[in-house]
């Protein structure tokens, strides 16, 4: 598998970043690491280590916040642990998992590399950086341990993989649309001005974008339930709502699929109607 890799660095509204990208036959995936006020948010992918290494080496930070345990966000945590005397905070639910050797499918290792074990510390509910106070917001759905971080002084919200894009077309097999809906509702109760996403980067009109995603998912949820009530099977609903077949479905062996969107909605419906 021949992969092309590159990265760009920049600064937006006082937030420095590195955006690393991996491309295979026209299909690409990217991931951001952000730096503000002595806080590094996520560490990028191991496969992009040569880019993130220089970014990390040059960065001035004294603590690391991890949004969730996925390998494209924790890939260089072990390098930081080895080279920096700084705490790496992550949801306590996934600390034990990160100490072990990472176990995930081959295609993800090909794109993102093999994440080395590291020792994280449980993220406090409220934490302090050099000049700011941060609130840690539990936002599961994409991952069981997913957290978003709000800089209360600047009004900047770092959303990890909660946003990514307004119109969700594919889902990982262990993701949950109803849980993501609840997480979006939760973050929208907070006072923030700007949104930084680990895959979309700086999101213009961030609150409006999150509201748009919530509205889309609520509408999608209602469509799925309505079609199911009319007698359509999950596969038929998927074909009706998501006729396009993306390359990642085949590449991932079905770990990514629009069918997971439908099933996650119906699974929760079955639980609530019992």
Is residue 274's pLDDT more than 90?
no
Q: What is the pLDDT of residue 27?
A: 81
Question: What is the tens place of the pLDDT at every residue in 94-147?
Answer: 999 999 988 899 999 999 999 999 999 999 999 999 999 999 999 999 999 999
- For residue 28, what pLDDT band results from cuts at 50, 70 and 90? confident
Please tell us whether the domain made up of 4-163+176-204 is placed in CATH 3.40.190.80. no
Torsion of CA 214, 217, 221, 226, to 10 degrees: 100
- For residue 270, what pLDDT band results from cuts at 50, 70 and 90? low
- For residue 273, what pLDDT band results from cuts at 50, 70 and 90? very low
Cα 261 to Cα 164: distance, rounded to the nearest angstrom: 15
Percent of the chain past pLDDT 70, that is, above it, reads: 98
Which of 4-18, 67-81, 179-193, 260-274 has the lowest average pLDDT?
260-274
Instruction: Tell me the C-alpha to C-alpha distance, in Å, between residue 135 and each of 192, 206, 252.
Output: 11, 18, 35
- For residue 22, what pLDDT band results from cuts at 50, 70 and 90? very high
Q: What is the pLDDT of residue 2?
A: 79
Q: The tokens of 196 are what?
A: 């930084």
Q: The tokens of 4 are what?
A: 């092309």
Is residue 271's pLDDT more than 60?
no
Q: What is the pLDDT of residue 75?
A: 97
Answer for the pair 40, 18: CB distance below 8 angstroms, yes or no.
no
What is the DSSP pairing of strand 15-24 with strand 4-12? antiparallel
Per DSSP (E only), the strands in 106-200 are: 121-122, 126-128, 133-138, 147-151, 156-158, 171-172, 194-197
In the predicted model, what is the mean pLDDT of the chain? 95
196, β-bridge pairs: 158, 202
Torsion of CA 164, 170, 173, 179, to 10 degrees: 50
Is residue 272's pLDDT more than 70?
no
**Residue 66 per-residue DSSP state:** -
Q: What is the pLDDT of residue 260?
A: 98
Question: What is the tens place of the pLDDT at every residue in 150-187?
Answer: 999 999 999 999 999 999 999 999 999 999 999 999 99
Domain ranges within the chain, ordered by starting residue: 4-163+176-204
Q: The tokens of 70 are what?
A: 């996925």
Q: What is the pLDDT of residue 268?
A: 86
Question: What is the tens place of the pLDDT at every residue in 77-89?
Answer: 999 999 999 999 9
Q: What is the pTM of this model?
A: 0.94
The three-class DSSP label of residue 36 is: strand
Is residue 20's pLDDT more than 50?
yes
């Amino acid at each position: 598998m021949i992969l092309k890799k590159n990265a760009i660095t920049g600064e937006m509204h006082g937030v420095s970043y590195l955006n690393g990208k991996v491309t295979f036959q026209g299909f690409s995936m990217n991931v951001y690491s952000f730096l503000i006020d002595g806080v590094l948010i996520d560490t990028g992918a191991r496969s992009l280590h040569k880019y993130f290494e220089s970014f990390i080496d040059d960065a001035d930070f004294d603590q690391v916040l991890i949004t969730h345990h996925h390998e494209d966000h924790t890939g260089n945590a072990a390098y930081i642990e080895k080279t920096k005397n700084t705490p790496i905070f992550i949801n306590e639910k996934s600390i034990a998992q990160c100490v072990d050797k990472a176990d995930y499918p081959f295609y993800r290792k090909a794109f993102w590399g093999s994440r080395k074990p590291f020792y994280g510390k449980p993220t406090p509910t409220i934490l302090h950086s050099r000049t700011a106070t941060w609130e840690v917001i539990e936002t599961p759905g994409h991952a069981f341990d997913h957290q978003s971080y709000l800089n209360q002084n600047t009004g900047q919200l770092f959303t990890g993989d909660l946003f990514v894009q307004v119109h969700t077309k594919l889902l990982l097999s262990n993701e949950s649309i109803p849980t993501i809906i609840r997480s979006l509702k939760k973050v929208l109760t907070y006072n923030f001005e700007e949104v930084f996403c680990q895959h979309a980067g700086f999101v213009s009109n961030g609150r409006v974008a999150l509201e748009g995603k919530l509205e889309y998912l609520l509408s999608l949820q209602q469509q799925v339930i309505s079609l199911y009530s009319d007698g359509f099977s999950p596969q038929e609903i998927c074909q009706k709502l998501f006729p396009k077949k993306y390359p990642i479905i085949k590449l991932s062996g079905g770990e990514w699929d629009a069918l997971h969107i439908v099933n996650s909605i119906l699974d929760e419906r079955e639980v609530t109607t019992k």
